[in-house]
Amino acid sequence: MKLLIIGACTLIICIFAAGCISPEVPVNIDDPVLTVTVQKEGMMIPVNASMTYILPSNPTTGYGWTVLGSEGLIVKDEYKATPVPEGWAGGGGCQYYTITAEKAGSYTFKAGYERPWETDVDPIYTTTQTLVFSEAEGDDPAGDVMLTVLFNGVVNPKAGEVVKICTDGNPTTGYYWTASPESGLTVLKDDYITDNTTGLVGAGGTYVWYVTAEKAGTYQFGATNQRSGQDPANLFFFDLTFV
């Protein structure tokens, strides 16, 4: 099983269902500081299967990602540089964390972006993710990557800045993605963009949500994929930290 990674607006009224933004905070959904792309296969993540979190990194600056907490988890990490023209340097790349667990349960994974010699300085970025693994059913899913979360941009946006969240979907099948953000996280706009490149009817497209938070903190964004009146067929969630 393989998973491929594949104007301006000011909010002047409170959105009571999910929080509100002060009129003094400029909100520009056309200029998100972070784009998070999610791909998910399967309802839950069984033990021995994996989740992958991909974070921007540039070790030529002296900074790198360090695991700060992963009790009960098996973590593999790999840095992949972005291809650049020959002779160029400092192009940066991404840090890949592939995470699994041998026992079902809820776990916490935390990593910080820091210079390893600056032991008395806090990381400039952090990511804290709550991970849930279920009991395995059927065939052993060992090695299968069932959730991929790609961060592209400022990992820790400031309160009031906009994050764009994307995932593939196909409402022509009768299944729709519906967001379920944690209280304090505001959905400014949601959209569905049809994939017209193939010219085929029912080819699917991309669900997009633009979110922000009025106050600093860590918030969970989740979404479910289901037909009306039926139980979810798929779901995902991940955490965003605003500073």
43-75: pLDDT as tens digits: 999 999 999 999 999 999 999 999 999 999 999
Q: Is residue 232 part of a domain?
A: yes
Q: Is residue 226 part of a domain?
A: yes
In a domain, 1, yes or no: no
Tell whether 120 and 188 lie within a shared domain: no
Same domain, 95 and 148: yes
Could you tell me if 44 and 139 lie in one domain?
yes
Least confident range from 13-27, 79-93, 108-122: namely 13-27
Same domain as 95, residue 29:
no
Same domain for 140 and 220?
no
Same domain, 225 and 165: yes
Residue 2 lies in a domain: no
How much is the average pLDDT of 90-107? 94
For residue 243, being part of any structural domain is answered with no
141 and 225: one domain?
Answer: no
Single out the residue in 93, 123, 156 at which a domain terminates: 156
Q: Are residues 150 and 194 in the same domain?
A: no
Domain membership flag for residue 181? yes
Residues 103, 120 share a domain: yes
Helices (H) and strands (E) in the chain, counts: 0, 14
For 2, 183, 240, the CA distances from 25, given in Å and listed in that order, are 42, 19, 19
The model's confidence at residue 229, banded by pLDDT at 50, 70 and 90, is confident
Are 207 and 166 in contact, with CB atoms under 8 Å apart?
A: yes
Measured distance between the N- and C-terminal CA atoms of the chain, rounded to whole angstroms = 37
- Torsion from C-alpha of 35, 37, 236, 32, nearest 10 degrees: 10
Q: Is 136 exposed, middle or buried (0-12, 13-18, 19+ CB in 10 A)?
A: middle
Q: Exposed e or buried b for every residue in 91-115, given b needs 16+ CB within 10 A?
A: eebbbbbbbbbeeeeebebebbbbe
CATH number of the domain encompassing residue 171: 2.60.40.2020
Q: Are 115 and 93 in a shared domain?
A: yes
Residue that finishes a domain, picked among 135, 156, 177: 156
Q: Domain range for residue 225? A: 7-33+159-237
Tally of structural domains, the chain: 2
Residue pair 49/146 in contact (Cβ under 8 Å)? The answer is yes
pLDDT band at 201 (very low <50, low <70, confident <90, very high): low
Residues 109 and 198 in one domain: no
Last residue of one domain, picked from the residues 128, 156, 184: 156
In this structure, are 20 and 45 located in the same domain? no
- The per-residue pLDDT for range 167-197, each reduced to its tens digit, is 999 999 999 999 999 999 999 999 999 987 6
